[in-house]
Amino acid sequence: MQRLEIMIKARQNKELIQTNECVPGCVCPEGKAEDDSGNCVLTENCPCLYAGSSYAKGKEIQLDCSQCKCQGGSWSCTDKPCPKTCQVYGEGHYITFDDFRFTFEGNCEYIFVQGEEIHLEDGKVNVFGENTNSSCTVDSYSLHTVGLYLSLTFTNGITVIWDKHTRFSVTLDKHWKVDPNPYYEACLQEACACDKEGKYLGFCTAVAVYAEACNKAGVCIRWRTPERCPVYCDYYNDDNECSWHYKPCGTLTAKTCSDHTIKKKLSAVIEGCYPKCPETAPYLDENIMKCVRLHQCTCLYNGQIYHANENIIGCGNW
């Protein structure tokens, strides 16, 4: 029997606890601590714990929007705040920026997000509040087709996503942890809708919202089938062509005429129809949804498509 220093494993607490009691046992030499395998290692080589799992020194994990690295028994994390998302979908399901959820229906007009006035109707977008006195205004947003959705990215960093039906979101960030319960409740309500057509669309929209949240968290869900909420991409294929295919979790392989950074970020997580363009026409022209050569890319200005070398009347040198 002898007086011993009892050391708590360094990955949990590096402090030494002194005791005046004589207890039998084995301890690691000074400067070392016991790891998960029962071996004595230098304290700077101690593993780290997270969610019941052990990670070796140097291992990295994603925690919300921050990257954490195991260093000597403790985590060193970047301080990267997560942007927020608010959205509405189906028969009155609302998710706020602070992740509160509401379900209600009303015949009045409601302010979803205060800012520029946007009209979404019949699959088209109109933004009001811009300077229309000038014949050559600079748009405050860019418009892209991403999978099944229309994406508007404003110069202040806000991104609006619309499925052209009953789903609309304003995105400032994404969440890494997904609680399935509120999505399940919303899905039940949509599936039990009285209107048959609304029931089908509402169910598909509710599941699509949940699947996208999982995809943002790194889990891809292939949930659509030919019988359940199908998506047909053959519409974009010409005769004897098979370039367009459905991707449940987006793609990063397509090169586009706009080469837009935000669009690339969204296409990596948003489901939809994406092309595999041939080498003879390697760029996707999002305005006409065709694979083209770079010099054949079109431009979109004030809702009008212009072909290469075509001038915009009354717009200076454009």
Q: What local confidence, expressed as pLDDT, does residue 253 receive? A: 61
Q: What local confidence, expressed as pLDDT, does residue 188 receive? A: 85
Q: Is 225 exposed, middle or buried (0-12, 13-18, 19+ CB in 10 A)?
A: exposed
d(CA 139, CA 217): 33
- Tell me whether strands 167-171 and 255-256 are parallel, antiparallel or unpaired: unpaired
**pLDDT tens, per residue, the chain with 318 residues:** 333 333 333 334 444 445 566 667 778 888 888 887 888 888 888 888 888 888 888 999 888 778 899 988 888 888 777 778 899 988 888 898 888 888 887 777 777 777 667 777 766 667 664 433 333 334 567 778 888 888 888 766 788 888 888 888 988 876 556 788 888 888 888 877 656 555 578 888 889 999 988 887 777 888 898 888 898 888 878 777 777 888 888 876 667 887 755 456 666 778 888 888 888 888 888 888 888 899 999 988 777 888 888 887 766 554
Q: Which has the closest alpha carbon to 270: 250, 287, 289, 242?
A: 250
Residues paired with 306 in a beta bridge = 299
Is residue 204 within 8 Å of 229, Cβ to Cβ? yes
Q: What local confidence, expressed as pLDDT, does residue 178 receive? A: 78
